[in-house]
Amino acid sequence: MTEKISLNVNGKTHVIDADPDMPLLYALRNDIGLNNPHFGCGLAQCGACTVHLDGQPIRSCITPVSSVADGKIVTLAGLGTPEKPHPLQTAYVEEEVPQCGYCINGWIMTAAAFLRDNRKPTEAQIKDALSGLKCRCGTHASILRAVKRAAVQMG
Amino acid sequence: MTRHDSPRNFSRRAMLKTGGALVVSIGMPISLDTVLAIGSASAQNARPPLTPDQLSSYIAVNADGSVAAFFGKMDMGQGLFVAIGQMVAEELDVPFDRVKVIMGDTATSVNQGGASGSTGIQFGGKQMRMAAAEARRVLVEMAAAKLAVPASELIVVDGVVTAKSDPAKKASYAELIGGRYFNIQLQWNKQIGNLLYAPGEAQPKPAAQHKIVGQPIKREDIAPKVFCQEDFCTDLTRPGMVHARVIRPPVAGSTPVRVDESSIANIPGAKVVLDKAFIAVVADKEWDAVKAMQQIKVDWSDATPPFPDQTALFDHIRRAPVRHAETQPKEAGNIAEAFGAAARVVEAEYEWPFQSHACMGPACAVVEIKDGQATCWSGSQKPHFVRDGVARTLGLPMDKVRAIWMVGPGSYGRNDADDCAADAAVIAKAIGKPVRLQYMREQGTGWDPKGPASIHRARAAIDASGKVTAYEFTSKGFSRIDVQTNGSQPADTLAGQLLGVPLVVNDGFGVPAESYAFDNKRMAWETIAPLLDRGSPLRSAHLRDPVGPQIHFASESFMDEVAAALNVDPVEFRLRHVKNARDIAVIKAAAEKSGWVPRPSPRRDQTGNTVSGRGMAYAQRNGTIVAIVAEVDVDRSSGRIFARKFTVAHDCGQIINPNGLTKTIEANIVQGVSRTLWEEVKFDRKNVTSVDWLTYPILDITETPQTIDVVLLNHPELPPTGAGEPSIRPVAAAIANAIFDATGVRIRRVPFSPERVKAALS
């Protein structure tokens, strides 16, 4: 059973026809055509699907599409652009963080909300905020350098 | 546009398009008459065939003078393409930013082996360097003819050939050949894959003249990723495409005997693909395919649970009949006599579990079959072999199949990508529509080919004076090539195995790579049969530095054990016995940088709950040498290990790009820490039970080493060797040796999980 569902994504409204139980991730990727949130686990264990819902990072792979209602969804593509990059995007480029890059939505979207709410965090606070996210290529040290670099810029 | 633009955006034809695709055919030696004669005769819209013996298969000069480098290996995210671009730019004497490295499409590059064995620069770069040098030679000859100046009197600066004596006499590469293909025959050694080598007449520059090679040039492929401008293979869609999911059996080895198609009748467009033991579902929408996978009712055959209890795995390996054994190289001296005469024998046994690639996302592939031709988009690190495997799976000639790599969710060897490509091909053929298949998490972790489990026995004979007189090291485990290192043969893919193709037995393992010289020495390996020979979630294959971490965990832990038995400092012990001068330099560099103070392990001066230690391990790998000092903190009450600091000395011959190299090593160390501290594929009698990140934990960001100091030993006078894998090799032993130093307790089984460490300490 599908129903019409309205989604506000990166400032635009999309009306899709979807199973209300379908995870938001599938709507973002297949119905709206965004290539940035990735399917990593479908279990909220890795973060590859992370988007912001009203400013808070959520795992779109387990979030029913019908549950977001009028919430404002922002994906990595909506966080910044080459012309107007988010400090984390700039820092990621400068630190050359990703290898495969499949994990970056989790790290950047989680860190973006954390740094917005926590100016001048300690390294331990950054690590705690990012705990649980996965990177399989082992770029952890680069990730931390980039987040610290962005923290300086945002602080 | 990124430097390693995918061929989808940057096709061979589009790149070279110009007024009239003149083929420039040049004999050697060359004269102007020859150029004109052949040129005018060949002014057709043709290009040489894409074969390994053609210069045009590697290098082309575009109409604007920029250079396309067609690379038949693969960068899996470490910036290899930057280094390749540097090598090509260097030999051609063009600015680095005028070279674009194009890889991953069987329609634009020859098979140089894909990502394989850390040979991207060692073999792939060597070939590109030779091809670029040859291209420069040919261009200078063409300029000589055009300018009527001897080639020896010409110089090349930024892609412009100029007469030394008269700067007004000049010709740019664009003028000489821009937009047209070389038609130059190379001396191909008739190999494909890693061993492909096809030099021309030119010799590459001596290292002393290098200006671009050796520079820390940064990657340019990050911005497209963080700004979501680049599609992954998971993002590709094709007109009319359907989504597929495969169904794996609850008991490994069982096969579907009845499928209730009515169980998914309520899902729009859902269909079953069933062929022998292969079963999949498709639907128009991806979520519907997932629901169909979850909902479908399948009756499975009664299969005897194929696996031992996990606790019995290493006993199984010990007891299993040896299927194949090798001693490499041959025994030095006489081991039996030496042990017979020993005053003392030190011996130990080590254990390494199955490990999963556990890539960030489960594999994805898209296959489209149209008009007797097939195209496969895949994240596999070996797209040319994917092409071969898809062709064989579909029964199509190789030249009717094209494989196109798109960046995937990570790849560290023979992961699930090749299986996914073959599965997608089977489904696309059955359905008659383009098919996108992505595995689910439990399939990516549960059903990928595994790094093999193994045991390792080591013993050393010591005489009355304390001299080590003999050393014997034997590994026994599952084959590293139970399924081969690529999916070119259906027998090596799950699809092929489930469809019943005859299996091929492949045995492979390895021995320690080091230069310890003992009068009597024997290194050997033994392989055993797989636990389930067809369609097994525990089939074993190459996982980053195939069997290297296993073997060197054991061999380098054992060297530490012998040093401790002799009450000798572990670095001093290595320096006494290691013979290769570069090995000695690397060990010394790591020790020095880490501030190593000589003393035997363990230290015995610590009390309290948290104790610290340092450990050294070293290894070679195909010409590269790595030594690591690990410094760890051990929480005695919880058993948790914090691998706090690594000092890594690394010698891979000539360094092409120190920036990319350092980052590659750094991430390699982190992945090595993860595999050492956490990673173990769990299974029960029926199936693999490591199916997600809870059941297959990896290193968390909170456990990231505080410091990874990398010391690069550059040898510009030597050929470059690999860096993608070598530095993961000694990580486990360095940590184990540091734990011993801290606690006096030797951990001989990976992973060093808190429970295991705690149990060992109590």
Give the model confidence (pLDDT) of B339-362 as tens digits. Answer: 999 999 999 999 999 999 999 999
**CA gap B3, B98 in Å, rounded:** 9
Residues of chain B with Cβ-Cβ distance to A133 below 8 Å are 701
CB atoms near residue B698 (< 10 Å): 21
**For residues B433-455, average pLDDT:** 98
**For residues B490-516, average pLDDT:** 98
| Contact check, Cβ <8 Å, B410/A137 | yes
Give the model confidence (pLDDT) of B234-259 as tens digits. Answer: 999 999 999 999 999 999 999 999 99
Please give the C-alpha separations between residue B47 and each of B50, B51, B565, in angstroms, as whole numbers: 9, 11, 67
Q: Contact, B284 vs B238, CB < 8 A?
A: no
**CA gap B292, B71 in Å, rounded:** 40
pLDDT of B27 above 50: no
Provide the chain A residues 58-97 that lie in CB contact (below 8 A) with chain B.
75-77, 80-82, 85, 89, 92-93, 96-97
Interface confidence, given as ipTM, is 0.98
Q: Domains (ranges, CATH) in chain B?
A: 12-204 (3.30.365.10), 234-303+360-446 (3.30.365.10), 310-357+449-528 (3.30.365), 566-761 (3.30.365.10)
Residues of chain A with Cβ-Cβ distance to B229 below 8 Å are 82
CA torsion angle for B185, B188, B192, B193 (degrees, to 10)?
-100
Which stretches does DSSP call E strand in B314-422?
Answer: 324-327, 344-352, 355-356, 364-370, 373-378, 401-405
| Contact check, Cβ <8 Å, A29/B702 | no
Q: Distance from B445 to chain A by nearest Cα, in Å?
A: 10
B222, B693, B700 ranked by CB distance to A97: nearest: B222
DSSP state of B517: -
| Contact check, Cβ <8 Å, A77/B666 | no
| Contact check, Cβ <8 Å, B438/A23 | no
**For residues B162-181, average pLDDT:** 96
User: Tokens 């990166």 map to which residue?
Assistant: A10
Give the model confidence (pLDDT) of B37-76 as tens digits. Answer: 333 333 333 679 999 999 999 999 999 999 999 999 999 9
**What is A20-67 written as a DSSP string?**
TTSBHHHIIIIIS---SS--S-SSSSS-TTEEEETTEEEETTSSBGGG
**For residues B102-118, average pLDDT:** 96
Residues of chain B with Cβ-Cβ distance to A135 below 8 Å are 360, 701
Please give the C-alpha separations between residue B569 and each of B121, B517, B591, B615, in angstroms, as whole numbers: 36, 18, 11, 10
**Which residues pair with residue B299 across a beta bridge?**
B258
**For residues B468-484, average pLDDT:** 98
Classify B283 as helix, strand or coil. Answer: strand
Report residue B517 as tokens. 């010289």
DSSP state of B208: G
| Contact check, Cβ <8 Å, A35/B232 | yes
pLDDT of B3 above 50: no
Report residue B450 as tokens. 């595994």
Contacts of B736 (CB under 8 A, 6+ apart): B553, B557, B560, B615, B676, B746, B747, B748, B752
Q: Contact, B739 vs B745, CB < 8 A?
A: yes
Query: What pLDDT sits at residue A155?
Result: 87
| Contact check, Cβ <8 Å, A100/B408 | yes
- Cis omega before residue B239 (within 30°)? no
Q: Does A127 touch chain B (CB under 8 A)?
A: yes
Q: Does A1 touch chain B (CB under 8 A)?
A: no
Q: Contact, A35 vs B237, CB < 8 A?
A: no
Positions of chain A with pLDDT under 50: none
Lowest mean pLDDT across B82-86, B178-182, B264-268? B178-182
Average pLDDT of chain B is 94
What percent helix, strand, coil does chain B show, rounded to 5?
Answer: 30, 25, 45
Report residue B223 as tokens. 């911005």
Contacts of B746 (CB under 8 A, 6+ apart): B348, B557, B561, B736, B739, B740
| Contact check, Cβ <8 Å, B693/A46 | yes
Residues of chain B with Cβ-Cβ distance to A41 below 8 Å are 441, 692-693
Q: In angstroms, how far apart are the furthest CA atoms of chain A?
A: 49
Give the global pTM: 0.95
| Contact check, Cβ <8 Å, A89/B226 | yes
**CA gap B704, B701 in Å, rounded:** 5
Query: What pLDDT sits at residue B46?
Result: 64
Distance of CA A33 to the CA centre of its chain: 16
Please give the C-alpha separations between residue B244 and each of B34, B303, B367, B439, in angstroms, as whole numbers: 57, 26, 11, 9
Distance between start and end Cα atoms, chain A: 48
Residues of chain B with Cβ-Cβ distance to A96 below 8 Å are 79, 218-219, 222, 659, 663
Closest by CA position to A47, among listed B361, B364, B358: B361
Give the model confidence (pLDDT) of B517-532 as tens digits. Answer: 999 999 999 999 999 9
Closest by CA position to B193, among listed B103, B119, B101: B119
Q: H/E/C letters for each residue in B688-745?
A: ECCCCCCCCCCCCHHHCCCEEEEEECCCCCCCCCCCCCHHHCCHHHHHHHHHHHHHCC
Q: Distance from B704 to chain A by nearest Cα, in Å?
A: 6
Q: Distance from A22 to chain B by nearest Cα, in Å?
A: 7
Looking at residue B241, its amino acid is: M
Closest-CA residue of B relative to A88 is B226
| Contact check, Cβ <8 Å, A39/B358 | no
Q: Domains (ranges, CATH) in chain A?
A: 3-77 (3.10.20.30), 80-154 (1.10.150.120)
Q: Does A38 touch chain B (CB under 8 A)?
A: yes
Give the model confidence (pLDDT) of B362-401 as tens digits. Answer: 999 999 999 999 999 999 999 999 999 999 999 999 999 9
Query: What pLDDT sits at residue B648?
Result: 99
| Contact check, Cβ <8 Å, A144/B704 | yes
A22, A102, A134 ranked by CB distance to B287: nearest: A22
Query: What pLDDT sits at residue B295?
Result: 98
